[in-house]
Amino acid sequence: MQSSETLNELSIPVSDFVDQAPSELSLEILAGDEGLNTRRITVPRIQKLGLALAGFSYYVHPGRLQIVGQSEIWFLGQLDPDARSEAIGHLSIEKIACVLITKGLEPPAEFVQAAKVAHVPLLRTPLVSSAAITLVTNCLQELLAPRTILHGVLLDLYGLGVLIEGASGIGKSECALDLITRGHRLVSDDVIEVHRISNDRLNGMAPALLREHLEIRGLGIINIRDLFGVSAIGGATKLDVSIRLERWDDAGDVDRLGIDPRSIEILGVTVPQVLIPVSPGRNLATLVETAVRVQLLRMRGYDAAQSFVARHTEMVSGSD
């Protein structure tokens, strides 16, 4: 299952970072606020300006948040005004997305003026550089993560993020409701925002408007928290397995032994998938729970189908 609906283009205005940065950063805007909406951050990796201030300006990578800490402030402070202006001029500051001063330090007036003239946001945090870098990197990795929208239901079952997908009206939400009554947690119904956090990890979450809600034909939109309590609601979760529901007549050839695992690709990440044919009388919630338990065993290195085939092969070989 792939979605053609992409939510971002791997760049954000600096204003998005300022608005969504962790509260621990306590960001303060010192200058260049005119560039908050026009300057864009394109990569989550940060950079320190030490080498560039020393004259190696080609080390400045456009699109990155630049860190200025105690070493850089000390270096500029020991220069005379003309040399300081020259060092700042080496930065090609108009190419910089934004600058973050750490440890609550006071930047030289020449640096503040250069940021004002170039409309480069100059930010400050009271945190030391090491702590600030960790928080900033984690925040930007989330904000800049490739993302897409999937349609289905996402639940937390036994600690795994389980995507239930299938055609409209096949019973995804009803199955999800049954699973919730068994103690599992709803993450999102109908619309799922999926972020690729790393090369092998996808996180799924609910849009703010839909969070905690489930639509059931005949009942309408219900609030899961109100009905079942806070423990029935899950936050953002890793997407570990897809359960695809298909009508029995449309399912085609189904692997009856389970020795040929299926998978799908979402945002370049391979996700295991289980195909469950749907027909009247089948207990979908029980089947989904069992499929997830099977996946847990496979993740731990045990595959019942492969074990059965191996024992069968050994038995046949022994009888020859």
Secondary structure element (H or E) that encloses residue 175, with its range: helix 172-181
Report the C-alpha dihedral over residues 46, 14, 234, 189, rounded to 10 degrees: -130
Q: What is the largest CA-CA distance in the chain?
A: 92
Give the strand pairing for 98-101 and 65-68: parallel
* DSSP conformational letter for 79: S
Q: What is the DSSP letter of 60?
A: P
The residues assigned a catalytic role are: 151, 172, 190, 256
C-alpha–C-alpha distance, residues 179 and 186, integer Å: 9
Distance CA 188, CA 143 (A): 20
Inter-residue contact 169 to 190 (CB < 8 Å): no
